[in-house]
């Protein structure tokens, strides 16, 4: 990536991280036949709000899948931290680790320093959701600077379905339209 924040309508560049088996994976690539993809960035295993969000997402995952949306989650955690987190979550979608500071910056995510060693041992991204359409364009982007601000998953699903069914345009805030 180029160290410039992505904006709605941009094509999502390659985003290589690691899976639970330590294989390198590009999150932009589809592993299903779903035309759309949602990448959920979470803070890490230290965050109880993230654990709750991932468990809630697992409950509605089938609804996303049925709507043609592949779902994945990723954090800047290490393999060891992801393994520890898997003991606290019951998910039915792929989860990845190893998001780098450069990748976080390129995605336009807010990056926080741990408050103590008890929290975590590395800077981490605050929550973000990136919804890619069938062309890998950023159809929807939600970036937070706090663990307490996250979209309602049912409302988000409804918005994605509406956008797909009605060819709803990408809203490109801050860009001039001719």
- pLDDT beyond 90 at 2: no
pTM: 0.93
- pLDDT beyond 70 at 48: yes
Report the percentage of the chain scoring pLDDT > 70.
Answer: 94
Q: How confident is the model at residue 174 (pLDDT cuts 50, 70, 90)?
A: low
- pLDDT beyond 60 at 72: yes
- pLDDT beyond 90 at 9: yes
Q: Is the dihedral of CA 73, 81, 151, 6 positive or negative?
A: negative
Mean pLDDT over 77-90 rounds to 96
Mean pLDDT over 67-92 rounds to 96
Rounded (10°) angle between helices 153-165 and 48-66: 30
């Amino acid at each position: 990536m180029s160290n410039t924040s992505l904006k709605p309508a941009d094509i999502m560049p390659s985003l290589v991280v690691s899976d639970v088996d330590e294989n390198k994976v590009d999150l932009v690539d589809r592993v299903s036949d779903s035309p759309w993809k949602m990448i959920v960035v979470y803070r890490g295993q230290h965050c109880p709000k993230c654990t709750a969000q991932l468990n809630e997402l697992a409950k509605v995952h089938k609804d996303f899948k049925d709507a043609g949306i592949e779902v994945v989650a990723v954090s800047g955690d290490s393999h060891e931290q992801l393994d520890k987190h898997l003991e606290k979550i019951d998910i039915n979608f792929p989860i990845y680790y190893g998001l780098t500071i450069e990748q976080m910056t390129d995605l336009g995510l807010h990056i926080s320093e741990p408050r103590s060693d008890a929290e975590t041992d590395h800077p981490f991204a605050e929550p973000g959701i990136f919804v890619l359409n069938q062309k890998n364009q950023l159809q929807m982007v939600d970036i937070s600077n706090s663990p307490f601000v996250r979209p309602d998953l049912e409302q988000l699903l409804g918005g994605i379905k509406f956008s797909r069914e009605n060819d709803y345009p990408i809203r490109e805030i801050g860009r001039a339209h001719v």
